[in-house]
Amino acid sequence: MNSLLQAAGRSELLTELEAIYKDIHQHPELSMEEVRTAKLAADYIEALGYEVTREVGVTGVVGVLRNGEGPVVMLRADMDALPMEENTGLPYASTVRAKDEDGIEVGVAHSCGHDMHVTWLMGASKILAEHRDAWTGIVMVVFQPGEEVGRGASSMVSDWGNGRFPKPDIILGQHVMVGRSGTVSYRPGVILSAGDSLKIRLFGRGSHGSQPQTSIDPVIMAASTTLRLQTIVSREISPLDNAVLTIGALQAGTKENIIPDDATIKLNMRTFDEDVRTYMLSAIRRICCAECEASNAEKPPEFTTLSSYPLTENDVAATQVVASAFRTQFEERACETKPASASEDFSIFGRTWNVPYVFWFIGGTDAEVYETAVKQKQINRIPSNHSPKFAPVIHPTLETGLQAMLTAAAAWLCKGKGD
């Protein structure tokens, strides 16, 4: 394993990967449209000797490298960017604009760190290909589309086919997050929340603003519903159960003297327990329907699921293996963390195939900035993932993520292998 980790610190490799990272950062692509990024990754690993399959689940890429008898280790990275403008001031900042699924022109930015994820996996793929004497088994690298819309993993699984690729024995993934750069944090069991996003359309009856008695006002209906929905977490969920419900959009009407026909609420909820999740989804429907009935609406609300992410619940035994390897490699820079209220579709692979998986975090915040924020108790002011100012420092984030991925993979691939 030492040869793999030594290769991860080579200056010429890090220079190459830094250039790749900046290139991907400057050319972000929206979910399920990652054509350029997928080609970049596929061409790169194909040149290293991987068996490459393209367009798996629309734009996904699967690379397989066979190296004798041993376990099948799957390494995954997500590729998509967000529909938002970047405001980091970096010399390699994105200026890309594109049309979203609704045909609206938006800025596009890698404000969640998926550009770093792709770079890590490309680097790990190269080191494993060039140091086959250090490990045995099968490495399967997966570049996944559409994580931000919760469709990428499921689309790849649906397109996987029976026997098309080896079934993994372990699935490994990582994510850059706010945290001191150079650190690695892990957790057995639940590490990321389940996430559900809904669009709720409330139907009223439009009229002139001067004649409200002839209307059923959906604005009042939506306002009352919004306030009442906030009581689910505060009054119906135990304070010992973590949950979040956020109304991210409330849309109605076009002019101040027109009472519109309908109103739309878009909400997002995060939960860490399946029973709590089920209860909250039921409570949302109950409250929305009750408020519409209280307003004398002529028909019930319309519910549309925008996205749904399952819990990311690390296999306990496999996490212990990874954690032990991390502690050996990173010493005090590796530690156990609390669950995060972010959500991922990474676990869909393991859940679908009944395969253990482990997911962990890499700190991407400048060490001095992070330590100052800790001293001032202002960690929440550090621009986080999905902020237009989110900007992981390249070093040592790049080499740390590369080392972490190789360390975790080696815990399976290098068993009994001399170095």
Rg (CA), the chain: 23
Going by C-beta distance under 8 Å and a sequence separation of 6 or more, which residues neighbour residue 244? 193, 233, 268, 269, 270, 271, 341
Active site annotation includes 291: no
- Residue 363, strand partner residues: 177
- Residue 200, strand partner residues: 265, 303
Nearest to 143 by CA among 54, 62, 238, 248: 62
Active site annotation includes 169: no
Strands 97-99 and 184-186: unpaired
What is the rounded CA–CA span in Å between residue 4 and residue 181? Answer: 21
What is the rounded CA–CA span in Å between residue 174 and residue 155? Answer: 20
Among residues 115, 148, 196, 291, which one is catalytic? 148
Among residues 29, 33, 34, 78, which one is catalytic? 78
Tokens of 326: 């991390």
Helix (H) / strand (E) containing 153: helix 152-158
By the 8 A CB rule, do 221 and 264 touch?
no
Question: At 254, phi and psi to the nearest 5?
Answer: -135, -20
By the 8 A CB rule, do 25 and 92 touch?
yes
Nearest to 118 by CA among 406, 415, 401, 417: 401
What is the rounded CA–CA span in Å between residue 189 and residue 314? Answer: 5
Residues involved in catalysis: 78, 148
